[in-house]
Amino acid sequence: MTRMSMTNTPQTATIDDAPLVGRTLTRAFDDDPMMRWFFPDDASREASLGRYFTTLFTRQYVHHAVCERTASAVAFWVPPEAAAKAVPDADTIEELTSILGDRAPVFGAAVEEAGKHTPQKPHWYLALVGADPAAQGQGHGAALLRSGLAKADAAGLPAYLESSKPDNLPFYQHFGFTVRAELALPGGGPVLWGMWREPRPTAS
């Protein structure tokens, strides 16, 4: 039990963790409706997802977000003071466009549509959280969610996330999130649920 709990303990993800981050998120999002919409080719999806998540991590989130990991899960949180810096720069957009290929316009339209529904009130944004399915039920994703929410609560700020996987909604609701918006992404894309959580008092 002790060894298992150690693997569940969140720790800061550094640039040296890029291989683990890419591998974990590729496995975690293989069946995600939005990722399958962006990367519809079964034969190339694994490689494309690996490049996609590694690019986001190494070029964007590791520099401007709170990135944490366990042995089998990864989470990227963006506090409000980092929101402007966490937006992909021109070089990152160029790299993502190359990875997405002819799906780049679909990706761009989805990002634009989701952005219209992003709350304007300062909040902690859960950009993504994913756990390796092989470790499902071992508490890795929950540990990262608790860690990020503790930081948001300590700052007295709400939290926001988006999910395109309906099976995940009860998991987030367990941690206090409620559905704030439900939107169908343009071009026949999947439904995206925006979820909001008010801050909770912390022990003094």
pLDDT tens digit string along 136-177? 889 999 999 999 999 999 999 999 999 999 999 999 999 999
Does any domain span residue 92? yes
pLDDT score of 204: 58
* 135: helix, strand or coil: helix
Extract the residue ranges of the chain whose pLDDT is less than 50. Answer: 1-5
Does any domain span residue 167? yes
Does any domain span residue 173? yes
Does any domain span residue 204? no
Does any domain span residue 31? yes
Does any domain span residue 168? yes
Counting the structural domains of the chain, the total is 1
pLDDT score of 187: 86
Residue 145's domain spans which residues? 2-197
d(CA 169, CA 177): 9
Does any domain span residue 90? yes
pLDDT score of 1: 37
Does any domain span residue 202? no
Q: In what order do the strands lie in the sheet with 73-78?
A: 11-12, 66-69, 73-78, 124-131, 159-163, 191-197, 178-184
- Supply the CATH number for residue 162's domain: 3.40.630.30
pLDDT score of 4: 43
Q: Please tell me the pTM assigned to this model.
A: 0.93
